[in-house]
Amino acid sequence: MSPTTNYLKLGAFALAGLTICANAAQAPVRIDVKSLTKNVEDVVVPLPNEVFGALNKLGSVNWKEYVRSQKGSNFTERPRIALLLGTVIADGFVAVQAQDTPAVKDIGQRVLVLAKAIGVGNSITPHAKAIIEAADKTRWESVRQELDRTQFSVQSAMNEVHDEKLSQLVSLGGWLRGTEVLTAVVNKRFSAEGAELLHQPDLLNHFQTQLQGMPEFKHPIIREIHDALVEVRPLIDKERITPEGVKKINDITTRIGNGIVTKE
């Protein structure tokens, strides 16, 4: 074997060793989170079914009780449609939990109507069809996936035409409805673990910051949501959330939820 080949072999071993070291490199067990604050990406708002899944693991829930048949008013103001759209998609996740085929199909239609009203109907049509077809075949996992795709497509279409604020309202509407249902379930059968699911202070910060950046939306419902988040904040920003706290958050989110679906 020539010296060159030996060197090449050694080099190859050294490289392999380096690769193994890189793969085996341990992450630091502790980092300074304060140093990260300037370099933190925005949050991805969890879908309602993420929290519903965690709730399900704490005991069986009669999801049929929480399926909403109220379709909501026909609004012409885009911010109101965006909020309602988020709420209706969240209702879709509730209906999937309840395995309620007619409700899911209604929601599929409703999502399409609202998306068209806000100008993003084209990107939603295939998803709405897929939701209806999957509900007919009781393929709930596919319905969940299509609801996620629907929300993502709606928001992407809005972001593409620089309607980011409307996109944020879709997320906010979904979060409010999800929180309304979560608190209703926990309120009915309180458990500390169920209440802990409400501990979401950073998400609340995220929504509050976004609402502060929407001074042009002068609808009373936007102001009401802003005030509601201020009320909710001290109730969830604690280690142990009390039954009274859960009840209060439910009252607040129910009031706001009614405001989102109803015309003043």
Q: Which range in 33-41, 60-68, 79-87, 90-98 contacts other proteins by CB under 8 A?
A: 33-41
46, 133, 142, 228: which one binds other proteins (CB under 8 A): 46
Closer to other proteins by Cβ: residue 1 or 40: 40
Of 173, 174, 208, 166, whose CA–CA distance to 79 is shortest?
166
In the region spanning residues 58 to 97, those forming contacts with other proteins, defined by CB under 8 A, are 58
- SS3 category, 144: helix
Residue 216: CB minimum distance to other proteins, A: 25
Q: Is 116 in the site for other proteins (CB under 8 A)?
A: no
Q: For tokens 């630091």, what's the residue? A: 28
Residues that contact other proteins, how many (by CB under 8 A): 45
* Cβ neighbours of 3 (radius 10 Å): 7
Q: What is the largest CA-CA distance in the chain?
A: 88
Residues 228 and 252 sit within 8 Å (Cβ to Cβ): yes
Distances (CA, A) of 74 to 5, 132, 261: 77, 22, 9
* Cβ neighbours of 214 (radius 10 Å): 16
Closer to other proteins by Cβ: residue 46 or 121: 46
Q: Which range in 26-34, 87-95, 97-105, 248-256 contacts other proteins by CB under 8 A?
A: 26-34
**Half-sphere exposure (Cβ direction) of 32: Cα atoms closer than 13 Å:** 3
Cβ neighbors of 235 (< 8 A, separation 6 or more) are: 198, 241, 245, 248, 249
Q: Is 197 in the site for other proteins (CB under 8 A)?
A: yes
Structure tokens at 202: 């950073």
3, 57, 212, 220: which one binds other proteins (CB under 8 A): 57
Query: What is the length of the chain?
Result: 264
Structure tokens at 43: 């949050």
Q: Is 164 in the site for other proteins (CB under 8 A)?
A: no
Q: Which range in 23-31, 102-110, 131-139, 255-263 contacts other proteins by CB under 8 A?
A: 23-31
Q: Which range in 54-62, 71-79, 84-92, 219-227 contacts other proteins by CB under 8 A?
A: 54-62
- SS3 category, 68: coil
6, 8, 10, 53: which one binds other proteins (CB under 8 A): 53
Site of interaction with other proteins (CB under 8 A): 22-23, 25, 27-33, 36, 39-47, 49-51, 53-55, 57-58, 141, 144-145, 148-149, 151-152, 155, 193, 196-203
